[in-house]
Amino acid sequence: MLNAGEGDILAFPLTITTERKDWVSFTEPLFESHQVLVQRSNDQDSVSNLVTQLNDLNLKSVHVLKRSSFVTRLEQIENKLNIDIQIIQDSANAATESLIQQVAEGKIDYTITDEIIGRVNKVYYPELDVSVPISDAEQIAWAVRKNSPMLLKELNSWMNKTKRESTFMVIYNRYFNSPRTAYKRGTSQYATINGNRLSAYDEIIKNAANKIGWDWRLLAAIVFEESKFINKQESWAGARGLMQLMPATAQRFRASNPDDPAQNIMAGARFLKSLEKQWEKSVADSTTRMKLVFASYNVGLSHLIDARKLAIHFKENPNDWEIIEKYLLLKSEPKYYKNPVVLAGYCKCEEPIRYAQRVLDRYEEYKAHLTNHGSDIK
């Protein structure tokens, strides 16, 4: 199809093989995976049919896509182990997922897939077993025609840029690193794919976000980071409720009962807005400013002020988040936390940096799946 001019890019997880390199040009590898056997694990007859090692494939019928790398691998196993596998090649136009579904439904006994696709499908078909590897780690990539070097160059450039952005990791982790969590989230009444809801407190969050002019999904991301939407939480330090407010902060922002969800969330929203106003005075870039807000909420305003003062002291840009990160991390070293410009002293500040990024990552995830009913992030 590609070389016939019917498309320009094969945006599909293809295993890089020597044979395929004769026909297409591969992008730089996206990730590594290995091939696994897909079989049912909970059949009445599974004791006799369950494959636990490659020798067990002798005389078994395995369905795979025609002319796929799975055919080649099964033939290699046959030759190496001197066994006879009944390799049934389905149409080259069939989809791997359709064969996996047929295994789950008991229509066929075995197929082969890449481990990462097997893990995702096991979310939807828990009865599947994808634990038996049949190959070593292999590089996975997209492909273009061999006569498209400029397209390949641009595609690699785009991939490298995209993989450095938070959205890529949000998507990758959602579907590949946390499939069990994704399944639980997908079957919950508060799933992002079920009814545009996140928690029992969505309306309270939306109301508070509207009052401070924020996107409610951003405020929800912070609530999740603080309490996982579990009310009446209390930290070892005494922080309370959905927004994990310290008693003095709760009182300052008018939450007389920090265990009351509406009071707690509204007080937390007011606190965030006050931090935003603080950083609006000196930081123009919106992303840097919001990271400062999130990190300040997590560790305290004074440590962020110290980091910027250190940047100025050492003649670096105090409005560049990477520079701010640098000096936050250095605040654990005496040379820096004892510097005369530092007022808040020692800080082991890895956590506020990670916290700020987690909030933004979760916000991106929520934006991808939930509609907004308030103001966008400034």
Structural domains in the chain, sorted by start = 9-162 (3.40.190.10), 202-369 (1.10.530.10)
**Spatial CA neighbour of 297 closest among 323, 276, 281:** 276
pLDDT average, residue stretch 42-51: 62
Amino acid at 102: Q
Band (43; pLDDT cuts 50, 70, 90): low
Question: Element (H or E) spanning 353, and its range?
Answer: helix 350-369
Highest average pLDDT, of 99-103, 205-209, 333-337, comes from 205-209
pLDDT in tens, 306-341: 999 999 999 999 999 999 999 999 998 999 999 999
Active site positions, annotated: 226
Angle in degrees, CA 88, 93, 96, rounded to 5 = 65
Judge if pTM exceeds 0.85.
no
Contact assessment for residue 327 and residue 335, using Cβ atoms and an 8 Å cutoff: no
Residue 248, Cβ density class (10 Å: 0-12 exposed, 13-18 middle, ≥19 buried): exposed
234 DSSP assignment: B
CB atoms within 10 A of CB 338: 10
* Phi, psi at 23, each rounded to 5°: -110, -30
pLDDT average, residue stretch 354-362: 91
Contact assessment for residue 318 and residue 312, using Cβ atoms and an 8 Å cutoff: yes
What is the distance between the alpha carbons of residues 270 and 142, in angstroms, rounded to a whole number?
47
What is the distance between the alpha carbons of residues 71 and 65, in angstroms, rounded to a whole number?
8
pLDDT at 92 over 70: no
Please give the pLDDT value at position 163. Answer: 74
CB atoms within 10 A of CB 261: 21
What percentage of residues in the chain have a pLDDT greater than 90? 53
